[in-house]
Amino acid sequence: MKIVITGASSGIGRALSENILKYKEKAKVVGVGRNSEALRELKSVYGERFEYVIADLTDMSDVYRVVNSVVDFLGTVDVLVNNAGFGVYKELLNHSDEDIYNLLKVNFIAPIILSRELVKYMNRGSVIVNVLTAGIYVLMRKLPIYGASKFGLHYVTNVMRHELKDKGIKVISVFPGIINTEFHKRAGINYIRGGASADSVAKAIIKAIERGGKEVYVPGYLRILKILGPKLIPFT
């Protein structure tokens, strides 16, 4: 199995990379991220089964460089995991131009481009995984642009699922709740109470890939938001 994972240097992406490489002996992973030290560390542990691309997904030239590197490394792709993402804890109208552009590029635009380009190298039975957030079902007042970008990716993911059905390519939506990673600290808040582990999300994603699931919620009880959540947001 040939797998591409963005945001592979930390959090969910790193946990997913390690779980696949530890437990799937024939798997080969290309990890995409900004932290060169973390990616080199994975390479030192897993050798030729792990390749990496250091890239900044706010730079569209880097996005296309990722595509070219993936094709060089793998030739074909069995699984693409669009996991890279970040947020900024600010009120909506306090976001700078740069905040807005970069959030949309990484969380929304890059996954679309990577999917569009790499699907050309996928066969029937391949899988695209888009990591969203259970927060799309509530009003994320503290992470408004992040929430909006993930809501947009949710919409696109549903369209993608229909467009790729006839090609036999599956599309999985992942809806994590609060996850205990560096995401929140990088977004501007030092402490978050509780949260599931990145490892639990990684294991749920692998299970969905293997069993053909369409939606993944971590923790599982967050599925209830699909029913209740939209009623919390006044779409007027």
Tell me the backbone φ, ψ of residue 100, rounded to 5 degrees: -65, -50
pLDDT at residue 145, as a whole number = 97
**Amino acid 230: pLDDT:** 67
| Number of residues in the chain | 236
* Domains identified in the chain and CATH numbers: 2-232 (3.40.50.720)
Write down the pTM of the prediction. 0.94
**Cα 112 from Cα 94, distance rounded (Å):** 27
Helices first, then strands: H and E counts in the chain: 9, 7
User: How would you write the pLDDT of the chain (236 residues) with one tens digit per residue?
Assistant: 999 999 999 999 999 999 999 988 899 999 999 999 999 999 999 999 999 999 999 999 999 999 999 999 999 999 999 999 999 999 999 999 999 999 999 999 999 999 999 999 999 999 999 999 999 999 999 999 999 999 999 999 999 999 999 999 999 999 999 998 888 888 888 777 778 999 999 999 999 999 988 999 999 999 999 888 766 654 43
Query: How high is the pLDDT of residue 234?
Result: 47
Cis peptide before 111 (omega within 30 of 0): no
Residue with token string 């923790």: 219
Question: Residue 235's pLDDT is what?
Answer: 42
196 three-class SS: strand
- Residue 90 makes CB contacts below 8 A (sequence gap 6+) with 99, 144, 188
Among candidate residues 123, 235, 111, 110, the one with its CA nearest the CA of residue 173:
111
* Residue 96 DSSP SS3: coil
CB 207 within 8 A of CB 17: no
C-alpha to C-alpha distance for 5 and 36, rounded to whole angstroms:
15
Q: What is the pLDDT of residue 229?
A: 73
Look up residue 231 and give its DSSP letter.
Answer: G
Beta strands per DSSP E along the chain: 2-6, 28-33, 50-54, 79-82, 127-131, 170-176, 215-218
Which are the catalytic amino acids? 146
* Bridge partner list, 75: none
Beta bridge partners of 127: 79, 170
pLDDT tens figures, 156-192? 999 999 999 999 999 999 999 999 888 888 888 877 7
User: Taking a C-beta distance cutoff of 8 angstroms, is the pair 105, 30 a contact?
Assistant: no
